[in-house]
Chain A
Amino acid sequence: MDTNVAHAERWLSVIAGSALTAYGLKRRSAPGFLIGALGAALVWRGATGFCPVYGAAGFSTAEDDDGRPVSVPYGRGIQVEKTVTINASPESLYQFWRNFENLPRFMENLESVEVIDAKRSRWVADGPAGMDADWEAEIINEIPNELIGWRSVEGSRISNAGSVHFTPASGGRGTEVKVVLRYDPPGGKLGAVISRMFGEDPDWQVHEDLRRLKMLIETGEIATIQDQPSGRN
């Protein structure tokens, strides 16, 4: 059985599980027995380092120990894939996206991107309570007007990778823009920053970011009601 629970989390699991077991058994009732059983399961999880819930979700907090220099190792992290159709040509969309400095205009939680050279750029994400996080990314794959692939460089504090694909839509409906993002949620403060960038619901966040991209490209502005009057102000 592979471990999928991090070292510190295993200890926490054992401690919390023992306490729950003791509390549950002391109650000498049916609900108490259930609490005791839950506690015992936590102890087992901590002792073995394998969590069936994480396993079922394809998720792991265990340290990656094969040491290969990939930004998000296969089978790890969270992957989001979303597609939107935009009434514009693949060429214009490719050019817009290829200038990564445009990305913060529609990615809500991205503070800024600074292009360093043809391949490399520095990304800064909004963090909670003014805590920003930054990393360097490099373009690893590129076919003009079709796709761009990038990943955070080796040694980045936040590991992530992404690609965007531009495909002409049928019947002159514009371009299908598909985005695939993968990131490895680290623990601690950095985890909070990266989680915030992708939102509490990463699927939703990417979907909404693509909607903003569509609005920006098609109309030149992003719909808003912020700061409009109401009887509340």
Chain B
Amino acid sequence: MRAVCWWGKGDVRVLDVPDPEILNPHDAIVRVTLTAICGSDLHLFDGVVPTMLRGDILGHEFMGEIVEVGSEVKRLKVGDRVIVPFPIACGRCWFCQNKLWSLCDNTNPNAWMVEAITGYAGSGIYGYSHMYGGYAGGQAEYARVVFADTNAVKIPAGIPDEKVLFLTDILPTGYMAAENCDIRPGDTVAVWGCGPVGLFAIASARLLGAERILAIDRIPERLALAQEQWGAEPLNYEDVDDPFDDIKQRTGGRGPDKCIDAVGMEGHGHTADAIYDRVKQALRVQFDRAHSLRQALHACRKGGTVSIPGVYAGLIDKVPFGTAFAKGLTLKMGQTHVHNYTGPLLARIEKGEIDPSVIITHRVGLDDAPEMYEIFRDKEEDCIKVVMKP
């Protein structure tokens, strides 16, 4: 089959590789009908996530049709149309039974690599480095789904792939970020980063009743989409001297009630701390840049909540923890428990409350992946979201 393979920093290749096979009794194989490049795939492309090996198949946003099931798969059958959440959950450990699916105990064969850094390891993830299990990803013609009864969600006929594909990651991720904000009537929510996750956090904050939403980014097209689709107020931080002051003035000197950092470890910025982070990351003494996180902690109102769907992987310097303490902030973060949201969000899509496909700007085939990774990384051609049809 054809598959998109990581070949090194800034280098992905589409190669002929063997087809996946059933390796364990709860596995299934899907023929991928649609897959996407995620913003977090750019962290891999940029070489800032350790434990990638040359030849690893990328992709954790994919859907398709079941073509084979293992002997212990009970609920699914060949021909079912499914979406596949990016965190791999066993469904049986204490964490899965408590709906903390992305913290599953039993799906990462390389859990020890994560434990060495974080003490305890969460679930495996498709196509996202060997420290997250080394599973082959879904940017391919076929993919193996682990614990298929738990990790493949049936989709009824009649809804196009493009409307449901993002149930695999970015729509639930944006939604959980907003849900973690515990939005109350009258709340102002500020969202750093208007990539796909930020846009869906904005859409979700709207669904959950936020009164005002500030959308913070530097790309005019993304800010425009946030404004047109979900009524967010755009703030282009490159147009103002001091984004903090701008946010403070726009919120009557109180600050946003809830802040969402949908940027994560490769944030941009033009203030001193952002430049310091870039130098340290370039010298490999720090994995993560955290400009947006610092700004969110600083800008949030007293007693507010900072919700962090943006991915951080390592150590960060100069996080104003004293600020978070002094203001009594609540911090919420983590990989998305996608499995909790697929059902309710599918229902909202069916009812027409949200159309996730509005963020798609590029529709291509698998063979275009190397070029698309570059276009997406460089934000060329007004690129917001790339979907690939194998």
Contacts and interface: CB of A to CB of B under 8 A. Distances in A.
Interface of A: 85, 87, 173-174, 204, 207-208, 211, 214-215, 218-233
Contacts of B55: 230-233
Contacts of B56: 230-231
A219 B26 contact: yes
A218 B93 contact: yes
Interface size band for B: 35 or more
Interface string B341-370: 000000000000000000000000000000
Most B CB contacts (10 A, CB to CB) among A224, A226, A229 go to A229
Interface in B115-163: 124, 133-136, 140, 144, 146-147
Contacts of A218: 90, 92-93, 105-106
Contacts of B21: 227-228
Given A219-B147, A230-B136, A87 B93 contact: yes
Contact of A230 (B17, B24, B106): B17
Contacts of B3: 229, 231
A123 to B, nearest CB: 25
A225 B133 contact: yes
Contact of A225 (B17, B18, B94, B136): B136
A204 B353 CA distance: 50
- What is the interface of chain A mostly: helix, strand, loop, or mixed? loop
B302 interface: no
Contact of A231 (B7, B135, B147): B7
Given A207-B112, A215-B106, A223-B124, A228 B92 contact: no
A225 B93 contact: no
B94 A232 contact: no
A229 B15 CA distance: 11
A218 B20 CA distance: 25
A226 B136 CA distance: 11
A107 B140 CA distance: 34
Contacts of A208: 112
21 contacts: A87-B92, A87-B93, A87-B94, A174-B94, A211-B111, A214-B105, A219-B147, A220-B26, A223-B24, A223-B108, A223-B109, A225-B23, A225-B109, A225-B133, A228-B23, A228-B136, A230-B5, A230-B136, A231-B3, A231-B5, A231-B15
B214 to A, nearest CB: 41
B57 A229 contact: yes
Given A214-B105, A230-B57, A223 B112 contact: no
Contacts of B124: 223
A85 B95 CA distance: 12
